[in-house]
Amino acid sequence: MVLVLPTTFARICCNHELFIVRPRMNALAICLELATLFSPSTIGKVEVKNRIIRSATYARMATKDGRVTDPLLQLYADLARGGSGLIITGFIAVDPAGTGGPSNLSYFDDTYIADHQKLIEGVREASPDVKIGAQIAHSGRQSSHPRYEAVAPSAVLEKGSGRMPRELTVDEIGTIIEEFVAAGRRAFESGYDLVQLHAAHGYLLSSFLSPYMNVREDEFGGSPRNRARILVEIFNGLRSEVGANFPIAVKLQTEDGVPVGLTLTEATEIAKYIVDAGCAAIEVSGGFYETLMSKGWGIPSNVVKTPEDENYFLLAALAMKDAVPDCPIILVGGVRNPVTADQILQDRQADFISICRPLICEPDLPIRWSNGDLTPPLCISCNSCYQSILAGPVECLVKQRLLRKRKKQQNRSI
């Protein structure tokens, strides 16, 4: 029984100034209200202390060759102290040609294991009960690396860059499968609690799933089963390397949002194939760069202005729950209200909720909610964090402008 409705709050943005009014709430009522959000659950055999997952977020904080830096260590330590149950790292490239951008974390060979061990140790020191997973990926046709050609299942123009990717041969696909398996094995040996395959947002694995980006006529194209073959083969190879108890999850594209693209109906069919192969959890997502180009800002990072804009992948999560009821489903996309999130979990519309942009602005948001402050995140979903990574490390630009303004005011008063 819910004893207290979500607290009201005032949020006024004027010249990037942010003012928040947070009324007090009854702590016992809040505890009862968010009982599910802050209850433990499992992914495979890994117990997560609550249902809040930090969704993988590109940070642009690694070295040029993809190694861990002090700012990255600080970022993940802050997230660990912030109260999330599970942290998924930003995109870790499995191949130099598949980096997602400058200063991208990497897993090119075994020399990177020590770097990731250091990152994991930092998280454990900050909060021993927080779990951490490695997201491994290849940028594929969306690669912008000046030294390497973009590759894809088929030679279909990438409209964001205007580049025509080169179609991979079957042998090259086999090599990429081996690279994913090797990266997953390195994640296991580094000490991560699980690994997540990035099969969303138009990157390489996602492009194989899409009939818009994959027009092959061999065993890796055509039917949904054939388009999912690369994922299934990665699962099979990884399982032989890491054993049965190490969870392998997927961030799964559920809809491309372009003509002739992947649909939710096909995505649920693909979900069945990967769950049969041993997928431990599915984080639903959708959209890619060309979706953003055709529609302006949109999926996977919709602007959230009203409660109706929230939880925009909930229909996808519901479809996945119906298709693969025994696989944990992670809802990402505009999760802003903790009481609504708790109700979604109570109703078993999803098993976990995943947050990205709000934790850039406010890494301790989960602790704030657990302590009784149920106001939504300070994040206003303006997507300024996207602009920040064009030039440097990810940050909330609105928050940084406010902090700089306050610092100047303090200096004047001294």
Provide the token pair at 91.
């995109």
User: Which residue is listed with tokens 């999912």?
Assistant: 228
259 is a domain residue = yes
4 is a domain residue = no
What is this structure's pTM? 0.89
Q: Which residues contact 114 (CB under 8 A, 6 or more apart)?
A: none
Q: Could you tell me if 302 and 310 are in contact, meaning their C-beta atoms sit under 8 angstroms apart?
A: no
DSSP string, 77-92: HHHHHTT-SEEEPS-E
1 is a domain residue = no
**110 CB-contact burial (10 Å; exposed 0-12 / middle 13-18 / buried 19+):** exposed
pLDDT of residue 215: 98
2 is a domain residue = no
131, amino acid identity: K
Provide the token pair at 46.
């890994």
Q: Could you tell me if 49 and 95 are in contact, meaning their C-beta atoms sit under 8 angstroms apart?
A: no
321 is a domain residue = yes
Q: Residue 29: pLDDT above 70? A: no
CA 412, CA 45: separation in Å to the nearest integer? 55
pLDDT of residue 48: 98
**Can you give the C-alpha Rg of the chain in angstroms?**
21
CA 358, CA 10: separation in Å to the nearest integer? 17
Mean per-residue pLDDT over the chain, rounded: 87
- pLDDT above 90 covers a percentage of the chain that reads 69
Quote the longest CA-to-CA distance of the chain.
Answer: 71
Cβ burial 342-367 (10 Å sphere, 16+ → b, else e): bbbbeeebbbbbbbbbbbbbbbebbe
CA 263, CA 266: separation in Å to the nearest integer? 5
pLDDT of residue 37: 97
Residues 296-355: tens digit of each pLDDT = 545 567 777 788 888 899 999 999 999 999 999 999 998 999 999 999 999 999 999 999
CA 357, CA 120: separation in Å to the nearest integer? 22
CA 53, CA 366: separation in Å to the nearest integer? 10
Residues 354-389: tens digit of each pLDDT = 999 899 889 999 999 999 999 888 887 777 777 767
Q: Residue 116: pLDDT above 80? A: yes
Q: What kind and span of H or E run contains 40?
A: none
CA 349, CA 362: separation in Å to the nearest integer? 26
pLDDT of residue 149: 93
200 is a domain residue = yes
CATH for 132: 3.20.20.70
Q: Could you tell me if 143 and 150 are in contact, meaning their C-beta atoms sit under 8 angstroms apart?
A: yes
Cβ atoms < 10 Å from Cβ of 193: 23
* Average pLDDT rounded to a whole number, residues 52-61: 91
Closest CA to 177 of 141, 204, 155, 157: 204
Closest CA to 238 of 192, 207, 272, 270: 192
Active site residues: 203
pLDDT of residue 9: 30
Tell me the pLDDT band of 407, cut-offs 50, 70 and 90. Answer: low
Residue 239's domain comprises 10-413
Cβ burial 157-172 (10 Å sphere, 16+ → b, else e): ebeeeebebeebeeee
Tell me the pLDDT band of 406, cut-offs 50, 70 and 90. Answer: low
120 is a domain residue = yes
Name the domain count of the chain. 1
3 is a domain residue = no
- pLDDT above 70 covers a percentage of the chain that reads 86
Q: Which residues contact 40 (CB under 8 A, 6 or more apart)?
A: 47, 48, 49, 50, 85
CA 392, CA 386: separation in Å to the nearest integer? 10
